[in-house]
Amino acid sequence: MDHIVVLATVTIQLQRVARRFIVPYDSPRQRRNKLSQSTGLLRTCFYDFHVSRGAKMVDFAGWQMPLQYRGIIPEHQHTRTGASIFDVSHMGRLIFSGPDALNFLQHVLTRNLAGTAVGQSHYSLVCNENGGILDDVIVSRYERHFLVVCNASNREKLLAWFAAHKGNYNFTLKDETLQTAMITVQGPKAIRLLDELLPEPASDIKHYHFAAQHYLIAQFSVFRSGYTGEDGVEIICGITAAKLGLNFLFKKGADSSSELLQPAGLGARDTLRLEAGMPLYGNELDEQTDPISAGLGWAVAKDKEFIGSSALSKIREEGPRRRLVGLFVEGPRTARHGTNVTLNGKIVGQVTSGVASPTLGRQIAMAYVDAAHAAAKTPLNVDIRGNSAAAVVTDLPFYRRPQ
Amino acid sequence: MPSPTDRYYTDTHEWFKPEGENVTVGITQFAVGELSDITYVEFPAPGKALSAQKMFGEIESVKATNELYAPVDGSVAEINEGVKKDPSLVNQDPYGKGWLIKIKTAAKDFSSFLSAQQYDAKYPQS
């Protein structure tokens, strides 16, 4: 009995010692996602990896990111059948801590976090007073802080917005985007693969939950979420650990089944999310769009006040003027962003995203259409560069993974 | 990979190769790289009259839709049925099996177009 107590005490002491040395992330003076002097763009810590894998790099929201490696379609298909790894380190990672962190987030986010448990994540919107969407984010509750992951293109806008609305709220906002890395592993084989590789199995993490894990002195968080319609995780960690981790994942990922884990770029990420009916900021969402029209009313709390809440409850009561819908478009042509949706020659909406769906083998699009014509199975037309193509309204998502 | 030297290039990223009274037209590797996976080509009808620098068709990829421009005046002699059936041929072999159309033309002076070397210098591939 005694030695168990001693052992327990020693263990606790060791954990205390360990905790002193486990830094959540690398200190700012260590490695960072760096600004390239030649291009003026930020490079994630995986830049060399992307180049070595033959990625086509593009400017995305001030970052040099991989658009594709082998091709968008093969990377898309591999994500639907195997497991793909995406570098999403360009996304903003903002840490809110201090006594009023929760209250402040309750003020600026549409989602009610009052009942959010430690280890839980929520999709939420940040809206202006009119209910217009400033960004869509994932907020996660840690023991002592909240993490908000935002779109790369909106990070600076959000930082300014939060600063402008800080008022008397007592909290600290730290932008950890440059000191950390973020990858996502997605696909039907992702969880099984990660179960073999992570210190604690990914399959133990519930959807829209996360686990703070560590391996030796590297600490990282594993989130059971994604943006592809597949099962998988998103992982955030410090830069040094991220580079080691990536090599480790590839070594093991390739060992356990040849070529099981493949890198995929932003191109496939876009086509995957579109099939999964997930909105993209700048396409489906912007400051002129409200969450109710976008079909995101489920992420807008009815039981708290926040910036935009009165405008949004009015829209909810009156019903939105237009709604985001899915369209199946006939024929071989893709209805792109901005394409008009018509009914009997009259414009009733606009396409926000469209693609030749690699999984379904047909043309799909998302569009805002007048609420009167937004019911599933409504026949409409899209005006693709002067040619009218038949379209039919369909419920989102276009693709749902087999359970 | 340098572009083939047996043909001419345009600033709108078409290549063309004179062969008898026809020129064969396609798009460059640079254009393929920018477009990514090609999903559809809108071809002109065979026999249709074309004007230099005017649109003769459109090409769609997973990412974008782009216009195709005729390098010379003429008429459509032939379209590539292989690409019509399988647009990914353009990705696989833009200078060979992925050609798009043949234009019957009287044009003979191509000195205003870019050579392979000039094209590659102007549009280096990343």
Tell me what pLDDT residue A258 has.
Answer: 53
Phi, psi of A178 (to 5 degrees): -80, -20
**What is the pLDDT at residue A8?**
46
Is residue B93 in a domain? yes
Provide the number of CB pairs (under 8 Å) joining chain A to chain B.
40
Taking residue A274's Cβ as centre, other Cβ atoms within 10 Å add up to: 27
Tell me, yes or no, if A385 comes closer than 8 A to chain B by beta carbon. Answer: yes
Tokens 């600004």, residue located: A35
Distance in Å, alpha carbon of A176 to nearest chain B alpha carbon: 30
A240 backbone dihedrals φ, ψ, rounded to 5°: -60, -45
CA distances from A313 to A87, A115, A244, A299, A317 (A): 37, 21, 48, 13, 6
In a domain, B101, yes or no: yes
* Packing angle, helices A239-256 and A190-197, rounded to 10: 110
Q: Which amino acid is at A228?
A: T
Domain count, chain B: 1
CA separation for the pair A375, B5 (Å, rounded): 56
B124 in a domain, yes or no?
no
> E-assigned strands of A69-205?
83-87, 92-97, 121-127, 133-141, 145-150, 172-175, 180-186
- The reported pLDDT for the residue numbered A7 is 44
B40, B63, B68, best to mutate vs chain A, most A CBs in 10 Å = B63
Is the Cβ pair A267, B36 closer than 8 Å?
A: yes
Q: Is residue B64 part of a domain?
A: yes
What's the gap in Å between the CA of B37 and the closest CA on chain A? 6
pLDDT digits 0-9 by tens, B36-92: 999 999 999 999 999 999 999 999 999 999 999 999 999 999 999 999 999 999 999
Q: Compute the distance between CA of residue A273 and CA of residue A229 in angstroms, rounded to an integer.
A: 6
d(CA B5, CA B62): 29
Which H or E run contains A17? Answer: helix A2-21
Residue A342 contacts residue A161 (beta carbons within 8 Å): no
Q: In this structure, what token pair is assigned to residue A340?
A: 């008009």
A residues 87-126 lying closer than 8 A (beta carbon) to B: none
Q: Is A286 helix (H, G, I), strand (E, B) or coil?
A: coil
Question: Searching chain A, which residue's CA lies closest to the CA of residue B59?
Answer: A333
Q: Is B23 part of any domain?
A: yes
pLDDT, residue A249, reads 77
Which tens digits make up the pLDDT trace of B83-105? 999 999 999 999 999 999 999 99
In this structure, is residue B126 part of a structural domain?
no
Give residue ranges of B with CB < 8 Å to any A CB: 33, 36-37, 39-40, 42, 58, 60, 62-65, 91, 126
In a domain, B98, yes or no: yes
Nearest to A85 by CA among A124, A61, A55: A55
Of A374, A373, A390, nearest to A382 by C-alpha is A390
CB spacing of B62 vs A385 below 8 angstroms: no
A284-311, pLDDT tens digit by residue? Answer: 999 999 999 999 999 999 999 999 999 9
The answer to whether the Cα torsion of A385, A386, A392, A395 is positive or negative is positive
Which of A261, A10, A284 has the alpha carbon at shortest distance from A136?
A284
Residues of chain B contacting A36 with CB distance shorter than 8 Å: none
Task: Give the angle subtended at the CA of A391 by the CAs of A399 and A318, to the nearest 5°.
Answer: 80
- What predicted TM-score, i.e. pTM, was given to this entire model? 0.90
Q: What is the CATH number of the domain that holds B25?
A: 2.40.50.100
Residue B11 backbone dihedrals phi, psi, to 5 degrees: -75, -10
The overall average pLDDT reported for chain A is 91
B13 DSSP 8-state letter: S
With residue B17 as reference, give the H or E element that holds it: strand B14-19
Contact list in B for residue A72 (CB cut-off 8 A) is 36-37, 62-63
User: CA nearest A384 in B: which residue?
Assistant: B65
**Cα(first)–Cα(last) distance of chain B, in Å?**
11
- Per-residue confidence (pLDDT) for residue B125, from 0 to 100: 80
pLDDT at A251: 73
pLDDT for A34 equals 83
- Residue B1, in any domain of the structure: no
* Averages of pLDDT over each 10 residues, chain A, 403 residues: 45 42 44 79 94 94 96 96 96 98 98 97 98 98 97 98 98 96 96 90 95 84 97 93 80 63 96 98 98 98 98 98 98 96 97 97 98 98 95 97 89
Is A54 in CB contact (< 8 Å) with chain B? Answer: no
> Which pLDDT score is estimated for A254?
59
For position A64, what pLDDT does the model report? 96
Domain membership of residue B88 as a residue range: 8-119
